[in-house]
Amino acid sequence: MPAVRRAEPSDLPSLLPLTREFCETDHHDHDEPRIVRALAPLLRDDTHGQVWVVTSSADASVLAGYAVVTWGWSLESGGREALLDEIYVRDRGNGVGEALLRHAMRAAAAAGASAMFLETEAHNARVRKFYARLGFTEESSVWMSGTLTLPPS
C-alpha cells in the first residue's frame, strides 16, 4: 500500500512534475515560478496549510501524488476551515487518491479545521461522485474570484 506523508522542502523537485501534470490534466497554466513561491511556505511549516504526498507502492522514493490544503478562517464555520486547493494522483481508480484525501482530511481536523471545502469542474461528474463518496456535498453558492492589485502610490 502506498504511504502518505507530510511533504518536505526537499520534495520540491519531485513535486513540480506532478504539479505540471495536474495543470495539464485540468487545463491550467503551469507557471512554475509562481507555484514554487506558493509551495515554499507550505513546505516549510503549517502556518498557511499543509502539503501531503503519497509515495509509489513499488518505490517509496517516488512520489505518486500530492494534496495541498490551505487554511481559511470563517465566522460561518466558527474559525479555521480547510481548502483542498489541489489533489492529484498519477494512477487513478486504485484507492490511492482516496487514501491521500482521507489522510489530508484527518490532518486538517487535527489542526483545528471544522470544515473542508474544495472546488471542482462542474462538468466532471466522476470526480464529484468521488468527493461525494467521501462526505462532500454540493452547495448552492457560487465561487467567484478577482485578482487583487495594490493601488498606485
User: What domains does the chain contain, in order, with CATH numbers?
Assistant: 4-133 (3.40.630.30)
What pLDDT shows up at residue 59? 78
- Kindly report whether the global pTM for this prediction surpasses the value 0.85: yes
Could you report the per-residue pLDDT of 63-122, keeping only the tens digit for each? 999 999 999 999 999 999 999 999 999 988 888 999 999 999 999 999 999 999 999 988
Find, among 105, 108, 19, the residue nearest to 65 by Cα. Answer: 19
Written as nine digits, the cell of 138 is 454540493
Alpha-helix residue ranges (DSSP H) falling in the chain = 12-26, 32-44, 96-110, 125-133
Instruction: Tell me if residue 85 falls in helix, strand or coil.
Output: strand
Residues 51/67, Cβ–Cβ less than 8 Å: yes
Under 8 Å between Cβ of 53 and 19:
no
pLDDT tens digits for range 11-59: 999 999 999 999 998 888 899 999 999 999 999 999 999 999 999 777 7
Q: What is the pLDDT of residue 38?
A: 96
Q: Residue 46: phi, psi to the nearest 5?
A: -105, 25
Confidence category of residue 1, pLDDT binned at 50, 70, 90: low
Task: Please check the confidence at residue 2 and state whether its pLDDT lies above 90.
Answer: no
